[in-house]
Amino acid sequence: MQTMQTYWKSVEPKALEVFCKIFNINLNQNELLAYICELWQNQEWQKAICVASKFKLAKQLEEQLSVIAFLVKKDEIELIKILIKNNTELATNAVRQMCTNKHCKIAGKIIKSAGLKPDDFPALSELFIKNALRYFMFCDNICLYQLVELISDIPEALSFVVEELKIQGKKHKGGWQICMAHALLNIHPELPINEQVKNALSIFTPRIHKGPSQNFSCLQPEYDLCYPLPRNSIFFIDTCEQLSMIDFNRNIAGIDCEWRPCLFKFQKTKVSLFQIAFEDGVFLIDMIKLNKEPLLDEILMKFLQGEILKVGVSFAGDKGMLNKSYPHMKAFKKPLKNYIELINACTEITGCNPGGLAGSCELILNQTLCKYEQRSNWEIRPLRESQIHYSALDSYVQLMIIKVLCENHNCQPEELIGKSKKRGSSGPSSCKHCDSKSHKDKNCPRGPRCKICYMTGHKADKCQN
């Protein structure tokens, strides 16, 4: 045994733990730590970390030699992962040292895998917010009115947009960006923005910031489908009394949900609206307000499990989101009964895969469906009239499509229950200008959109909205 005690240092470090087990050797912790540090100083980093993690001396190694900072600098991510495995304290330390553009993605992954709380890393959150905003300020599928509404309750995000607009405006020699920055500052004078920026903006005339549309209509009714029934056929339900008055004695309903989209990593969201469309009107149920009411759970359980036919587009995803948002509700835990998947029904009957709701609308109704409000802030109350219009139409149009589909092909909606996914002729790539999956960007009848208001037909520098 004496020989074994002196022999252990020549064992391959990766095999040391097994070696000790086989020969029943209990190594002295101090001696072991000295050995690990020696390996480290001989630049045998991988071996040092391997032994340290196997013998639970990772924390001591970090304390002695600040190895995490070194490994981050060297970009040795795999070694960091081994070192911090099963050690919350070291994982936290590593994340703190990875709040840079280069390493923030990995830091985000460590937060998830180590079960850390994102709120404990404000510097990292700020980085995620800035990177995301830099992307959204220039991408095609979100306009600035919408972006500003989506971050209206996140002051650090709004400030960043103002500062970024100022920089952009400077590049474009006092373009609309700088006038918009000034307008935003006027609307939110409390924003944490430094005086220098404020003074620089003050010499430019603020742009009139109308924000997203307030009209009960789609964005451009001259092109896109509008809700065909009068406004008073839509009911916003946010009390139990209103809820108890809904008559569920119907044959068929269109179902859909809306929630505020997450722009940043670790941003949380919950289902805001559950829409139920009947042939003569639509109920918009305020999930945020009513989710704790036993009556809602009971009513939705009966509805989702009942005889009534339900038409939706990938409603399984919405149901998963409902369950995640409101785990205390029972209604979303059971499989849906009597459900028609609209896309599968369209594909089955026409032989053509429309890709999504907008595509189905084009394929069956020959009309384009504007998806603009989908990415809006569904947590604001009251909702804008444009959001009311969108959410009602999004659920109602499914009934319109099923009706025409059945009329044209001489079938009954009941026959379409549970149709499984079929391959159709069209691919699922979507047009970046209008979200439709039934044509490509270059064939889009509408073309690029204004970065300020999202309408087609003009560019941001000519925007009158």
205 vs 424: CA distance, rounded Å: 53
Instruction: Give the closest residue to 253 by CA, choosing from 302, 219, 214.
Output: 302
Torsion sign (Cα): 125, 126, 129, 132: negative
C-beta of 155 vs 261, nearer to Zn ion: 261
Q: Do residues 83 and 52 touch, judged by C-beta distance below 8 A? A: yes
Residue 60 Cβ vs Zn ion, minimum distance, rounded to whole Å: 54
Residue 413 Cβ vs Zn ion, minimum distance, rounded to whole Å: 20
Residue 264 Cβ vs Zn ion, minimum distance, rounded to whole Å: 22
Residue 219 Cβ vs Zn ion, minimum distance, rounded to whole Å: 10
Q: Do residues 354 and 437 touch, judged by C-beta distance below 8 A? A: yes
Q: Is 465 in the site for Zn ion (CB under 5 A)?
A: yes
State the binding string over 343-382 for Zn ion (x if CB under 5 A, else -): ----------------------------------------
E-strand stretches of 246-351: 252-259, 271-278, 281-286, 309-312, 339-341
Residue 465 Cβ vs Zn ion, minimum distance, rounded to whole Å: 5
Q: Is 51 in the site for Zn ion (CB under 5 A)?
A: no
E-strand stretches of 296-387: 309-312, 339-341
C-beta of 151 vs 450, nearer to Zn ion: 450
Residue 357 Cβ vs Zn ion, minimum distance, rounded to whole Å: 7
# chain residues binding Zn ion, by CB under 5 A: 12
Residue 99 Cβ vs Zn ion, minimum distance, rounded to whole Å: 36
Which residues face 236 on adjacent strands? 284
- State the burial class of residue 201 (Cβ atoms within 10 Å of its Cβ: 0-12, 13-18, 19+): buried
State the binding string over 157-186 for Zn ion (x if CB under 5 A, else -): ------------------------------
Residue 69 Cβ vs Zn ion, minimum distance, rounded to whole Å: 47
Position among 282, 359, 394, 396 found at the interface with Zn ion (CB under 5 A):
394
What letters, b where the CB count within 10 A reaches 16 and e where it falls short, cover 248-287?
eeeebbbbbbbbbeebbbbbeebbbbbbbbbeebbbbbbb
Instruction: Give the closest residue to 141 by CA, choosing from 450, 465, 464.
Output: 450
Q: Is 267 in the site for Zn ion (CB under 5 A)?
A: no
Q: Do residues 248 and 302 touch, judged by C-beta distance below 8 A? A: yes
> What does the radius of gyration of the chain's CA atoms come to, in whole angstroms?
29
Q: Is 151 in the site for Zn ion (CB under 5 A)?
A: no
C-beta of 121 vs 136, nearer to Zn ion: 136
Residue ranges in 413-452 that form contacts with Zn ion under rule CB under 5 A: 431, 433-434, 436, 444, 450, 452
State the binding string over 275-294 for Zn ion (x if CB under 5 A, else -): --------------------
Q: Is 255 in the site for Zn ion (CB under 5 A)?
A: no
CA angle centred on 9, ends 8 and 12, rounded to 5°:
90
C-beta of 212 vs 413, nearer to Zn ion: 212
Supply the DSSP symbol for 312.
E
C-beta of 33 vs 181, nearer to Zn ion: 181
Residues that bind Zn ion (CB under 5 A): 256, 394, 431, 433-434, 436, 444, 450, 452-453, 463, 465
